[in-house]
Structure 1
């Protein structure tokens, strides 16, 4: 089984790209797989499989449940005895493939944005893996995320959030060298056919016209609100939508961070006005505001049974 991992900052298009690549007859795209990386942690810590691990980290894991598959404890134990935690993951992948009638696939594509944090373990389990790093203008990322019930909700914290992840992913990209391909979200929207052709060539999978429209991912119910545009085809106007939706103050505040400003420039984005960096008091007020709103959002999720 070939393995491909699409990573990047949240709201940068990892799911959009996976949705397109999932239309290939040779690929399998499932919902995000955070539980896989939890199992990698257990493997790293040399924690042996037991009933508590099976229940907490697999059968009762929220992300695992979004795959809507049913495994017996016996089968999980057999997979572990054969190939450790990697064996369990591959059992889950193949079980999902059978569920959606894609048992003939030969390439699993994961689009969990944070997979870049587990590169060493990924290459330990699947040494021939390939990676795609998708990059999006940080101001567009903030515009996409600020209205959700998670993530940063003001421009100061949005800039901090995006830049910290971008520096981490760029370091990983440099480390991976020839087995990673950088894709720009904006370039993909401009000409997704040409971009997909290049991606397929890099991944050594056959380009098929069905990839252009997308629709290769069965979205879990709980993410349909977050990913309502995934599978609906590309819309070039979305690339610059942030310019009309963010206020001038938000844009200037985002650009005011010294490292953010030059990171945007390094990545080839048009800069715009740059304000003065926030002082100590305003920085902390922004972070306190962000934490308060996130607390309210988590409380609402808890009340609704979603957290």
Structure 2
């Protein structure tokens, strides 16, 4: 008999690829509690040196107050008692990963589940961080046609970029997925397509559940019942999660993108679309003006990423404690 898994699960992917839909589906399974998007993990990791030596209970208490008391961590959205969770963090092993795992374990326990996960599309850029914190993590990468994802992303009220940066984000997510598939063991990385999930949820979810070591539950294919109770009305960009799963927005890029945007998308995506099963339209080469603009943005982002990587190496040299979670095995 297979031992039930307690490995943390992280959903990643380009924004507007259906990650909220998948989060709702997995949360409806019998064992995994997967909350709506939080800002706890990456913000705490970014500021980890500020918390001092966590072998000092006073510093763990300060960290607990930082996690549970800041609005930008979205801790309140978890529906947990802040004081109780803070005491659990103080009593936990003295590492940042253990403190973070304590929060998510409390959320899982509150939902009657033994296992936890987290969802944030931009985690595709942060997998090294997540593996430092949780070396046994499993990653689920949801991919969507880049033309649909980018055209949808540009319409979001919270998105500050343009079509160039949206196309680049999709390309980066796909390339990071390729790297993860090559570097991680088969039991740590699983990729699926939004279009397959929308067309036949059960057929897409069963292999995913097998990867996670979980049983498929029919309720997972009907996440709109949960979404109607949990998705805030003001998040208009998630309104489709309130409806039964369908394929209505598959191919919406054909109405949303202008001709030159389709040309640019298919040019800069190169063979990636076809390799993922998305048929190129056969659009011609984009105007040089738009291609030049895309390359400029790509160059700026490349430099920024390498600067961030250098800064991260510097921060690691001055960490007061190991960051890895020591809370492994069955939740208690």
TM-score, with length taken from structure 1: 0.78
Aligned length: 281
Match of 2:118 in 1: 110
SS at match of 2:178: helix
Change over 3 Å in CA distance of 1:245–1:118 after alignment to 2: closer
1:234 lines up with 2:245 in the alignment: yes
Measured in 1, the distance between the counterparts of 2:90 and 2:97 equals 8
CA contact (8 A) 1:3 1:126 kept: yes
Moved more, 162-171 or 9-18: 162-171
Match of 1:305 in 2: none
1:15 lines up with 2:20 in the alignment: yes
Change over 3 Å in CA distance of 1:280–1:204 after alignment to 2: closer
Match of 2:177 in 1: 169
CA contact (8 A) 2:104 2:117 kept: no
Match of 1:224 in 2: 235
For structure 2, the 5+ residue unaligned runs are: 1-5, 54-58, 298-332
Measured in 2, the distance between the counterparts of 1:129 and 1:265 equals 30
Residues 235-257 of structure 1: CA distance to partner in whole angstroms, max 9, x if unpaired? 12321122223232321232233
SS at match of 1:238: coil
Aligned counterparts, 1:248-259, within 5 A: 248-257=259-268
Change over 3 Å in CA distance of 1:252–1:27 after alignment to 2: same
1:244 alignment partner, one of 255, 274, 278 = 255
For structure 1, the 5+ residue unaligned runs are: 288-307
Match of 1:38 in 2: 43
Residues 195-238 of structure 1: CA distance to partner in whole angstroms, max 9, x if unpaired? 11111111111111111111446645376322111242211232
Measured in 2, the distance between the counterparts of 1:281 and 1:120 equals 31
Give the aligned CA root-mean-square deviation in angstroms. 3.0
1:276 lines up with 2:286 in the alignment: yes
Moved more, 49-58 or 32-41: 49-58
1:59 alignment partner, one of 66, 69, 75 = 69
CA contact (8 A) 2:64 2:89 kept: no
Change over 3 Å in CA distance of 1:150–1:278 after alignment to 2: farther
1:107 deviates by 2.0
CA contact (8 A) 2:7 2:115 kept: yes
Residues 150-175 of structure 1: CA distance to partner in whole angstroms, max 9, x if unpaired? 33654333222221232223222322
